[in-house]
């Protein structure tokens, strides 16, 4: 195919994307030597969501029918990208025909738009279970997933540029199925998948709408759906069914999902999760790939506040050139997936995104330096023959915020040796004592424990959830208040919602115990620690180095 044969907008696309050869362009369109205008309608989009050209009813103005909302679309356009593997190597060129959904009108050509995705903690829980029981884990990908969704509304779209029907230039496309760019595209796909997977005997978890389970005698199968990425755990008999329902790509044993590398050592029954490739990308993006390496995510004893924000317009303009919010967002994804060790530092630095000062930016760069040194660290599950059970740790730091004197809460839950759920956040109200701050933190942890217990009970493979989940706290006063059902004069002013922990303990969802401070692994989620303590606690929640080459 030569450039002269392409529509003008495609020529600009090839030049803008800096493709090294027309071979790369051909690979995007499926490796055909035909003109793209005769090929693309036969490709996945045309095959899965073919539209009939509707005869105009009424008067058309500029190709649009009066009284009918008609969408425009982009062909390839801004949605041309290269897909990489876990090592950052390009393996797929992707292109899309995308409707301009931002022109849709609510109540006319779309209604509900919400669509769930699997929670990251659900994936970690299933990884911990898979490591313990040595379950097989497979990965599948649904090709052009959104094109499978069924539309309940009448949606009309103009003919794509470069693919107009010369004999019927005034006709518009009535979509028979969903297409990328529609506001309801994700929801319609999720509903259609839910309908088809239930036909095979799977049941949706009541507590996690993107996790499905199937039990057949002693055979158990878990399915996790994250938009169009699928993890199969335990049994792969559903693969053939999925391939009959959708265009599927079988990726074999799971090795890389959502930017997370999955490492397995079957002999030791270990699973490690790492984001080293992702961290390399963000280090390069923010020009920290050749910086010094940090030993802790935030310097011990450092204090950040709004008094360090720039006041003069000159200083504010200078800081606007700093990619502060982008850096926070990039680090936050790593923290949410596999890096609980940076949760506290991200929580603190994210408070100053509106008007960051130089000290705040230095603190963010310090997190990046720490990630550079620890990028090869894994969040590890397994390696123990003990009974698989959930353990929770709760902690608080009293009035650590120098601007509003609020305390910092933190909790972490572990399963099979690794962290499955964690949180570090500033409390919603001012605590007037360390006991009150710890009590509020424990209440937050107890609510998370209830969800964990319910979800694990739904999975029916972790026998220990029949017993209450233990939460360990290093403040005896908070432990006493949580166990005491009567009102106490020292806690009479505490908001009612924090007393929910008493009911949770009363119905035996949770037990709370005192633990020595030096053994509380939630400590680094509430304050910056010295290197030795930080590394010890990180190791205790599964942050370890593994020889992934073996």
pLDDT given for residue 28 in this prediction: 43
What is the distance between the alpha carbons of residues 272 and 262, in angstroms, rounded to a whole number? 6
Nearest to 10 by CA among 1, 410, 416, 545: 1
Q: Residue 94, SS3?
A: strand
pLDDT given for residue 251 in this prediction: 93
- Strand stretches in 360-496, DSSP E: 377-382, 390-397, 408-415, 418-426, 469-473
> Is residue 542 scored above 70 in pLDDT?
yes
The band of 497, judged by pLDDT with boundaries at 50, 70 and 90, is: confident
Query: Average pLDDT over the chain, rounded to whole?
Result: 85
What are the beta bridge partners of residue 60? Answer: 65
pLDDT tens digits along 48-78: 444 555 434 333 333 445 445 677 776 544 4
Cβ contacts of 131-135, under 8 Å, gap ≥ 24: 131/264, 131/269, 131/270, 131/271, 131/381, 131/382, 131/416, 132/269, 132/381, 132/382, 132/388, 132/416, 133/461, 134/266, 134/269, 135/233, 135/234
Tokens for 177, please give them. 């199925």
Tokens for 64, please give them. 């649009």
Tokens for 240, please give them. 């053939």
What is the distance between the alpha carbons of residues 221 and 107, in angstroms, rounded to a whole number? 39
* H helix intervals, 101-184: 120-133
Annotate 274-292 with three-state secondary structure.
Answer: ECHHHHHHHHHHCCCCCCC
pLDDT given for residue 488 in this prediction: 62
- In order of their start, the domains of the chain are 3-119+143-189 (no CATH), 191-274 (no CATH), 285-374 (no CATH), 384-545 (3.30.420.10)
Distances (CA, A) of 283 to 292, 297, 326: 12, 14, 12
Question: Whole-angstrom distance between the N-terminal and C-terminal Cα of the chain?
Answer: 45
For range 292-309, the mean pLDDT: 94
pLDDT given for residue 81 in this prediction: 61
> Is residue 26 scored above 60 in pLDDT?
no
Contact yes or no for 408/347 (Cβ under 8 A): yes
Which residue would you say has higher pLDDT here, 48 or 220? 220
- Phi and psi at 300, nearest 5°, equal -60, 130
Tokens for 122, please give them. 């659900």
- Phi and psi at 515, nearest 5°, equal -135, 145
- Phi and psi at 546, nearest 5°, equal -125, 150
Which residue would you say has higher pLDDT here, 73 or 5? 73
Residue labelled with tokens 């037990």:
511
The band of 390, judged by pLDDT with boundaries at 50, 70 and 90, is: very high
CB 458: neighbour CB atoms within 10 A?
16
pLDDT given for residue 25 in this prediction: 42
Which residue would you say has higher pLDDT here, 550 or 384? 384
The band of 35, judged by pLDDT with boundaries at 50, 70 and 90, is: very low
> Is residue 291 scored above 80 in pLDDT?
yes
Nearest to 441 by CA among 517, 487, 492, 501: 501
What is the distance between the alpha carbons of residues 253 and 268, in angstroms, rounded to a whole number? 18
Strands 97-99 and 90-94 come out as unpaired
Handedness of CA 53, 58, 64, 69 (dihedral sign): negative
For range 156-164, the mean pLDDT: 78
What is the distance between the alpha carbons of residues 324 and 112, in angstroms, rounded to a whole number? 34
pLDDT given for residue 59 in this prediction: 30
For range 287-314, the mean pLDDT: 94
Q: With b meaning 16 or more CB within 10 Å and e meaning fewer, what string describes 408-436?
A: bbbbbbbbbbbbbbbbbbebeeebebbbb
Which residue would you say has higher pLDDT here, 22 or 532? 532
pLDDT given for residue 167 in this prediction: 79
**Displacement of CA 4 from its chain's centroid (Å):** 43
Length of the chain, please? 550
The band of 83, judged by pLDDT with boundaries at 50, 70 and 90, is: low
Handedness of CA 164, 170, 176, 180 (dihedral sign): positive
pLDDT tens digits along 92-109: 666 677 888 888 889 888
- Phi and psi at 404, nearest 5°, equal -125, 5
What is the distance between the alpha carbons of residues 32 and 460, in angstroms, rounded to a whole number? 50
- Phi and psi at 378, nearest 5°, equal -110, 150
The band of 85, judged by pLDDT with boundaries at 50, 70 and 90, is: low
For range 388-417, the mean pLDDT: 96
**Displacement of CA 210 from its chain's centroid (Å):** 13
> Is residue 486 scored above 60 in pLDDT?
no
Annotate 493-529 with three-state secondary structure.
Answer: CCCHHHHHHHHHHHCCCEEEEECCHHHCCCHHHCCCC
- CA-derived radius of gyration, the chain: 27
The band of 526, judged by pLDDT with boundaries at 50, 70 and 90, is: very high
Q: What element of type H or E holds 37?
A: helix 36-39
Residue 447's contacts (CB-CB under 8 Å, 6 or more residues apart) are 500, 504
> Is residue 275 scored above 50 in pLDDT?
yes
For range 485-489, the mean pLDDT: 60
Q: What is the DSSP letter of 515?
A: -
Tokens for 523, please give them. 């400590």
Tokens for 2, please give them. 């030569």
> Is residue 334 scored above 50 in pLDDT?
yes
The band of 548, judged by pLDDT with boundaries at 50, 70 and 90, is: low
> Is residue 38 scored above 50 in pLDDT?
no
pLDDT tens digits along 113-134: 999 999 999 999 999 999 999 9
What's the pTM value of the predicted model, to 2 decimals?
Answer: 0.87
pLDDT given for residue 33 in this prediction: 31
Task: List, as one string, the DSSP characters of 461-492.
Answer: --GGGGSPEEEEES-HHHHHHHH--S--TTTT
Nearest to 146 by CA among 110, 172, 183: 183
């Amino acid at each position: 195919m030569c450039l002269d044969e392409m529509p003008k907008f495609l020529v600009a696309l090839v030049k803008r994307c800096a493709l090294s050869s027309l071979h790369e362009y051909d690979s995007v369109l499926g490796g055909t030597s035909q003109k793209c205008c005769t090929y693309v309608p036969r490709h996945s989009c045309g095959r899965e969501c073919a539209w009939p050209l509707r005869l105009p009813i009424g008067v058309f103005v500029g190709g649009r029918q009066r009284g009918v909302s008609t969408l425009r679309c982009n062909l390839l356009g801004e949605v041309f990208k290269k897909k990489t593997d876990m090592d950052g190597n390009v393996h797929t060129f992707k292109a899309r025909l995308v409707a301009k959904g931002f022109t849709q009108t609510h109540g006319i050509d779309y209604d509900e738009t919400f669509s769930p995705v699997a929670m990251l903690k659900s994936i970690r829980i299933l990884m911990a279970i898979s490591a313990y029981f040595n379950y097989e884990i497979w990965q599948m990908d649904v090709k052009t997933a959104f094109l499978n969704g069924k539309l309940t509304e009448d949606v009309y779209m103009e003919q794509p540029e470069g693919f107009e029907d010369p004999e019927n230039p005034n006709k518009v496309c009535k979509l028979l199925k969903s297409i990328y760019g529609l506001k309801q595209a994700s929801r319609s796909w999720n509903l259609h998948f839910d309908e088809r997977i239930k036909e095979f005997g799977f049941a949706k978890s009541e507590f996690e709408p993107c996790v499905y389970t199937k039990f057949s005698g002693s055979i158990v199968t878990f399915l996790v759906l994250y938009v169009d990425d699928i993890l199969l755990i335990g049994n792969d008999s559903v693969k053939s069914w999925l391939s009959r329902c959708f265009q599927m790509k079988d990726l074999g044993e799971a090795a890389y999902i959502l930017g997370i590398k999955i490492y397995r050592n079957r002999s030791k029954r270990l699973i490690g999760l790492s984001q080293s490739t992702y961290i390399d990308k963000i280090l390069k993006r923010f020009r920290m790939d050749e910086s010094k390496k940090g030993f802790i995510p935030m310097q011990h004893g450092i204090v950040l506040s709004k008094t360090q924000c720039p006041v003069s317009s000159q200083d504010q303009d200078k800081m606007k050139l700093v990619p502060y919010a982008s850096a926070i967002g990039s680090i936050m994804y790593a923290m949410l997936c596999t890096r609980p060790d940076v949760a506290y530092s991200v929580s603190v630095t994210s408070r100053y995104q509106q008007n960051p000062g130089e000290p705040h930016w230095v603190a963010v760069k310090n997190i990046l330096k720490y990630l550079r040194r620890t990028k090869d660290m894994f969040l590890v599950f397994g390696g123990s023959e003990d009974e698989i059970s959930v353990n929770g740790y709760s902690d608080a730091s009293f009035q650590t915020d120098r601007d509003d004197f609020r305390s910092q809460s933190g909790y972490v839950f572990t399963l099979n040796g690794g962290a499955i759920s964690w949180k570090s956040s500033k409390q919603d109200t001012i605590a007037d004592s360390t006991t009150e701050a710890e009590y509020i933190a424990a209440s937050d942890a107890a609510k998370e424990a209830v969800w964990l217990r319910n979800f694990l009970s739904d999975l029916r493979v972790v026998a220990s959830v029949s017993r209450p989940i233990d939460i360990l706290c290093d403040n005896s006063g908070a432990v006493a208040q949580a166990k005491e059902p009567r009102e106490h004069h020292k806690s009479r002013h505490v908001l009612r919602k924090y007393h929910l922990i008493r009911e949770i303990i009363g119905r035996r969802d949770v037990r709370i115990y005192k633990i020595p401070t030096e053994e509380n692994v939630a400590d680094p989620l509430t304050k910056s620690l010295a290197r030795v303590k930080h590394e010890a606690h990180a190791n205790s929640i599964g942050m370890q180095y593994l020889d992934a080459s073996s």
